[in-house]
Amino acid sequence: MINKNVLIIPCATQIGVEQYMSLRFNKNFKLIGAAHNHYEDLFSDYIELKQPLFSSLFINEIKQIVKNHNIDIILPSHDDVLYILKNDPELKSLIPGSSKKTINICRFKNKTYERLLKNDKISHRVPQYQVLKPGFLKPDRGQGSRGSLKIDNDYLYCEYLPGKEYTIDCFTNSKGQVIYVNPRLRKTIINGISETTSIVKNNLLFKQIAIQINKVLPFKGSWFFQLKQDKDGLLKFLEVAPRIGGGSNINRLNGVNLTLSDLYQHTGYDINIINQHLVKEVNRKKPKYNLDFNTLFVDYDDTFCYIKDILYNLDKEIIIITRSKVKVDTPYDTIYVKDNENKSDIINSLNKSKSIFIDDSFKERKDVFLNCNIPCLTPEETIYLTAYLTPEDTKYL
């Protein structure tokens, strides 16, 4: 058991909600949410922040929370929060993922583009741009102040990219190797978040680009980059970010829990990622599997108790498969697995067509997926088997 206290801040963002949905049943991590607005519906442990983000007192407030709640890990869910906390000498070691240097570059698009231009294999994908210093913009042809704009910060004046837009979710292991690249088309976008996203089949080009980015911007853990086609169809960079993307729940539905992988890598584990390719397209607010199945094999310990209501509403054959040494109390047929047995061997011996396996253990899911070739889900993903969603599951998605 790891037993770590994890602070998600600010937990009210869409990324914060995804982090919660990725970890909410995990026995190794206790979740504590913090935000500036009233937001305790998801988190049983919730802290309302008092100090504004850019206040000099904000850091002190976070340090006091860390001390009072014995926080072991901080999961920032906003770029500015990540940037501010990673630059604090006392807090930076609590934050999983990339180095302070990489985070500081990625926070600014000009610095990011300058770094990408250093790699001649991808430099042609940096859009034409120039930096505009604070000042006053006005149209060349015009009158009065119509169409004018006062700018108080640096802006980038970039070429217009009219084509298709892609987000590429990535994961870099502790050895600096890019072990996961998942490109997805951003089909509908609202406030910068991809509402409907679909997997791109041919990802060789995207993988090659990811590897080259990782050479000039050394990442660790989850990160993503975005590309958009120019007028000639050439994919060019929009941004690169050292965190999960807002629409990244499609990875989780395919068996790749990026947030959990970040935490395990941060605590010293080697990460093994298996993409099950279960979904091709997801609506972020209405994620759902479209799997044809008749039987669910369900682990008991740290799994059944979280999803028993969902199982009841599925109207499918349920078989409990457990390593418990004592009799378990469920209304379903139960198989007791011995220490020298594999769950995959038992499932194969029953010859149940169109089955799904649910277990909180990655080791057990890996065994069953590789040897039974059936979908293997965590308890967190079980809700997507049906339209049965509790109010707290949907309110903030």
Distance CA 134, CA 129 (A): 16
The pTM of the full predicted model, rounded to 2 decimals, is 0.92
Class of domain 165-283: alpha beta
The reply to whether 295-394 shares the fold of 4-95 is: yes
Mean pLDDT of the chain: 92
Domain 295-394: assigned CATH number: 3.40.50
Looking at residue 387, its pLDDT comes to 52
Place of tokens 């057990």: 364
Separation between Cα atoms, residue 50 and residue 232, nearest integer Å: 49
Using pLDDT thresholds of 50, 70 and 90, give the confidence band for residue 2: confident
Region 154-162: what's the mean pLDDT? 96
CATH number for the domain formed by residue range(s) 4-95: 3.40.50.20
Query: Over 50: is that where the pLDDT of 389 sits?
Result: no
pLDDT single digits (tens) 13-32:
889 999 999 999 999 999 99
Q: What is the pLDDT of residues 249-260, one digit of tens each?
A: 999 999 999 999
Instruction: Give the tens place of pLDDT for each residue, 84-114.
Output: 999 999 999 999 999 999 999 999 999 999 9
pLDDT tens digits, 318-337: 999 999 999 999 999 999 99
Percent of the residues in the chain that have a pLDDT greater than 70, as a whole number = 96
Range among 85-89, 189-193, 291-295 rated most confident: 85-89
Count CB-CB contacts under 10 A for residue 181.
21
Q: Is the pLDDT of residue 396 over 80?
A: no
pLDDT for the residue numbered 390: 47
Regarding predicted confidence, which is higher, 12 or 295? 295
Q: What count of other Cβ atoms lies within 10 Å of the Cβ of residue 39?
A: 20
pLDDT band for position 203 (cuts 50, 70, 90): confident
H helical segments located in the chain: 14-23, 58-68, 79-86, 100-106, 109-116, 204-216, 249-253, 258-266, 304-314, 343-350, 362-372, 391-394
pLDDT for 40: 62
Q: How confident is the model at residue 286 (pLDDT cuts 50, 70, 90)?
A: confident
Q: What is the pLDDT of residue 41?
A: 74
Q: Where are the domains of the chain?
A: 4-95, 165-283, 295-394
Integer Cα distance of 181 and 172 in angstroms: 9
Q: What is the per-residue pLDDT across 37-83, written as a single tens digit (0 to 9) for each?
A: 866 678 889 999 999 999 989 999 999 999 999 999 999 999 999 99
Q: Provide mean pLDDT across the span 176-190.
A: 91
In 3D space, the residue among 327, 328, 335, 330 whose CA is nearest the CA of residue 352 turns out to be 335
- pLDDT of 208 > 50? The answer is yes
**Strand extents, DSSP E, the chain:** 4-9, 29-35, 46-48, 73-76, 129-132, 135-137, 149-151, 155-158, 165-172, 178-190, 193-199, 221-229, 235-241, 281-283, 295-298, 317-322, 333-336, 355-358, 376-377
Query: Does 297 score more than 60 pLDDT?
Result: yes
